[in-house]
Amino acid sequence: MKRAVQSSLYIPHFLSWTIVASLTFLLFGLDPGPITKVASSLLGHQVDFLADPAWFRPLIILQSLWKGTGWGTIIYLAALTGVDPTLYEAARIDGASRWRQMWHITLPAIRSTVVVMAILLAGSLLDTGFEQIYLMTNSLNRSVADVFDTYVYIMGITQGAFSYSTAVGLFKAAIGIVLIFGANWLARKFGQSGLF
Amino acid sequence: MRPPIPAITAPVTRRKLNHYGSAGSRVFDTLNVVLLIMLGLLTILPFIFVIAGSFAHDAEISQRGFFLWPEAATLETYRFVFSTPVFPRALAITIGVTVVGTLVQVLMTFLMAYPLSRRALPGRNMILNLVIFTMVFSGGMIPTFLVVRDLGLIDTYFALFLPLAINPFFLIIVKNFFQELPEELQESARIDGATEVGVFWRIILPLSKPILATFALFYAVGIWNDYMSPLLYINDSTKWTLQMFVRQVTISAEALGNLDPNYVPPAQSLKFAVIVVATLPILMLYPFLQKHFTKGMLIGSVKG
């Protein structure tokens, strides 16, 4: 049972963004769009998830969650299974409830993993995923869609402003470095070992 | 920051010891299972919908909207997809690029990792630092594009795997793996008269088969799923890979329909079938992928 759930949760990680975007178009599009139909009848008016700028960001977040959450559990799963079971036993003898055990044993035990993951995430904060955004952008929702990477692509590749878009790209890379070192510094400040 | 530790005030009683059988924890367990099953269904259902839709007629798709089993199954869509010249070509190109590209990428990664794992290599630390530098900082999309363009790789299949041939993360993991192999094995082979190439080929490679499989899969999935490289480097639509084709059929079709009144959008079931074919190899490899990727993910991140 646990394995079956695990296996199905990992699948989306191996799919390309093209496939994820295609699935989104089928489910949230106008035709056949089962989710659009349900949402429209619930809200009482026609919803257009793919064209409405207000729905662009929620959709992007939803896609990222669908694709990445299952896979993201692997590292935490490994960290959680590494917690010494005698600690739980001792806590139980002292009368700690499940919540207490989670708060006083589980969370402190996986703290360093959480910190490392946070540093890595901070470094890739600006890597908002060119493919995902690019695939989901259309002329109607472009006003809320542009991120560094898509902007660089449009300015550089489609409009040929190479030096300008290179500068934008370098700026993004510089901010990325600041973020990763900043997160590392913060982690050290709070008594964690950090990455470097 | 360290969370404030609340004082434990609950009196320790005998009864508290086995509260795993209590009503509260039974509710907790049930909720847990229900929640996990729902999450699992949330990831699986879209696939079943797409597979079911690819075997259904267009009329059924637009009439029923969502279903997990077609009422009247038909192979019509698949027959049509494979009868067009475009789709089989994209499939063949993608398979070819993935196979050749994976071989090249694995070969280059291993050939760079092996010398870097030898402590005697002059300038080893400098080269390693250069590799690590690319992990934190990169010029970005446009400089890479210009290099590829000036090398004359635009509209060639090389552009789809050469720029990504050595992934610095993978390189360092493979290098560390080589370093941990026992030195004595290689020495004894040398005493028996093996050349340096012989040592790599007969001793190192057979020992690194599992890690080779892992990274071959990593690279293969990367090439198969890559949408950005063909978008940037392939202008000639006869050289499109599957991902480009899928996008054309499932996403651009709507935009094209808005622009050109004479444009006939592809049949609904066509989209379903194309998605299924483009996903099938990944799903077939999935058991191996899951095993090796999970392992690779853990060597890469959590140590000790």
The CATH number linked to B289 is: 1.10.3720.10
pLDDT band for B209, please (50, 70, 90 cuts): confident
Residues of chain B neighbouring A81 (CB-CB closer than 8 A): none
Q: Could you give the percent of chain A with pLDDT greater than 90? A: 34
Residue B302 has pLDDT above 50, yes or no: no
Mean pLDDT along residues B37-47:
90
pLDDT band for B256, please (50, 70, 90 cuts): very low
pLDDT band for B286, please (50, 70, 90 cuts): confident
Q: Say if residue B39 is in the same domain as residue B171.
A: no
Token readout for A79 is 């960290």
Domain count within chain A: 1
Q: Say if residue B137 is in the same domain as residue B50.
A: no
**Interchain CB contact of A147 with B (< 8 Å):** no
| Residue B144 Cα, gap to closest chain A Cα (Å) | 10
Residues A66-87: tens digit of each pLDDT: 998 888 888 888 888 888 899 9
Candidates A17, A26, A50; nearest CB to B271: A26
Tell me the pTM: 0.84
Q: Say if residue B30 is in the same domain as residue B109.
A: no
Residue B210 has pLDDT above 90, yes or no: no
Domain count within chain B: 2
Mean pLDDT along residues B8-33:
63
Is residue A13 a contact partner of residue A71, using CB atoms and an 8 Å limit? yes
The secondary structure of residue B267, as a DSSP letter, is P
**Can you tell me the distance from the alpha carbon of B2 to that of B25, in angstroms, rounded to the nearest whole number?**
28
Q: Say if residue B180 is in the same domain as residue B50.
A: no
Nearest in space to A192 (alpha carbons), one of B302, B4, B2: B2
Domain range enclosing B292: 84-300
Least confident of B46-50, B228-232, B250-254: B250-254
Nearest in space to B258 (alpha carbons), one of A55, A50, A147, A47: A50
Q: How far apart, in Å, are the Cα atoms of B177 and each of B7, B183, B301? A: 47, 12, 14
Residue carrying structure tokens 């079931």: B269
pLDDT in the model for residue B268:
79
Residue B19 has pLDDT above 60, yes or no: no
User: Are B44 and A8 in contact (CB < 8 Å)?
Assistant: yes
Nearest in space to B278 (alpha carbons), one of B231, B244, B228: B244
Task: With a threshold of 0.95, tell me whether the complex ipTM lies above it.
Answer: no
User: Residue A73 domain-assigned?
Assistant: no
3-state secondary structure of B56: coil
Residue B24 has pLDDT above 90, yes or no: no
User: Are A94 and B12 in contact (CB < 8 Å)?
Assistant: yes
Residue A112 has pLDDT above 90, yes or no: no
